[in-house]
Amino acid sequence: MEEITRIGVFTSGGDSPGMNAAIRAAVRTAIYNGKKVTGIYHGYQGMIDNTMFDMDSPSVSSIIQQGGTILKTARCMAFRTPEGRAQAYENVKAAGIDALVAIGGDGTFTGAEIFSREYDIPVMCIPGTIDNDLNGTDLTIGYDTANNTVIDAIDKIRDTAASHNRLFFVEVMGRDSGCIALNAGIAGGAEAILLPEKDTAIEELIEMLEQGADSNKSSMIVIVAEGDKNGGATNVAKRVKEKFDYFDTKVSILGHLQRGGAPSSADRVLATRMGYSAVMELLKGNSRATIGVRGSEIVTTPLEEALSKKELKLNEDLVEIAKIMAI
């Protein structure tokens, strides 16, 4: 690997709280080590459109507390084509970039892995997604903040649910991962949690709700992961209401508010550690890998392994705890 002189930094895919902290760490670590930095607007689309600019330390001042991403983000269909990647490489090469730090989720990682192999450009990826659905790390940037946002919403919904003897179905994000639903459901005291990884029949859910009614609960909350096989909170609520009308039933879909807001302290620290480590790994000669955290230690995982879904599974202890806490 040739000596790295300029590192390109970009964010791609869905935004997540803490991305700015990762950008800040990557930029300042590169500068500290005598390297130049280029910011790339709108991810892979920015490579194709050539929307790049020099970054220095002041470029990332006062952004650690901001949600979203100052580098913006976009989906880019053109980058999925050989022609699009060829155009991207020509622009990257012309800008003098000889290594990349990519911040995003599995789509970002997939693009980075293909691009690096085709053009032999070093790349390190940082997992920035609220879904917490990538191998190679216990936590992804934005996951903690999203959980806190959901818990805050559940607490507020609980207040009005108890005031009116209501049953609320609260839909949370996560795509095909139930991590947010499970953790926020436990922290928010939900009576039931529907997860993509677990098949929960409507009849089984109704049985759980009936047990709650028999216990004279004044209200109940059911957390529904958006990827649940029953079809989302609205459909689940409709099917339950047909057979269980003990409570007045309401639906609340939290949606994209889960992606917004200032990152939590935990996400700021995690993102800073990952941004620093991504640059340091590149300077050591590492490439085509993702930064992750296992326990308290920062680790790297080859991109091919990180993109594999084989190891992804919910914590079974948490699933059992959620069941017990609902009685």
Q: What is the pLDDT along the chain (327 residues), one digit of tens a residue?
A: 679 999 999 999 999 999 999 999 999 999 999 999 999 999 999 999 999 999 999 999 999 999 999 999 998 999 999 999 999 999 999 999 999 999 999 999 999 999 999 999 999 999 999 999 999 999 999 999 999 999 999 999 999 988 888 899 999 999 889 999 999 999 999 999 999 998 888 888 988 888 877 777 778 999 999 999 998 999 999 999 988 877 889 999 999 999 999 999 999 999 999 999 999 999 999 999 999 999 999 999 999 988 886 556 788 899 899 889 987
Q: Report pTM.
A: 0.94
Q: 68 among the known binding-site residues?
A: no
Say how many C-beta atoms besides its own lie within 10 A of residue 321's C-beta: 13
Rounded distance between C-alpha atoms, residue 221 and residue 208, angstroms: 11
Q: Per the residue annotation, which of 15, 49, 120, 131 is the catalytic one?
A: 131
| Torsion angle defined by CA atoms of residues 224, 172, 190 and 167, in that order, rounded to the nearest 10 degrees | -70
Q: How many residues does the chain have?
A: 327
Residue 27, marked binder: yes
C-beta separation of 291 from 26 below 8 A = no
56 catalytic per annotation: no
Distance CA 225, CA 108 (A): 23
Query: Is 262 known as a binding-site position?
Result: no
Q: Is 85 helix (H, G, I), strand (E, B) or coil?
A: helix
Find out whether 93 is annotated in a ligand binding site: no
CB 95 within 8 A of CB 48: no
- Residue in the block written with tokens 């959980």: 147
Task: Look at residue 32 and give its three-state secondary structure.
Answer: helix
Q: Consult the annotation and say whether 34 binds a ligand.
A: no
Contacts of 85 (CB under 8 A, 6+ apart): 79, 114, 115, 118, 119
Which residues, in sequence order, are bridge partners of residue 8? 38, 100
Q: What's the CA gap between 300 and 85, in Å, rounded?
A: 25
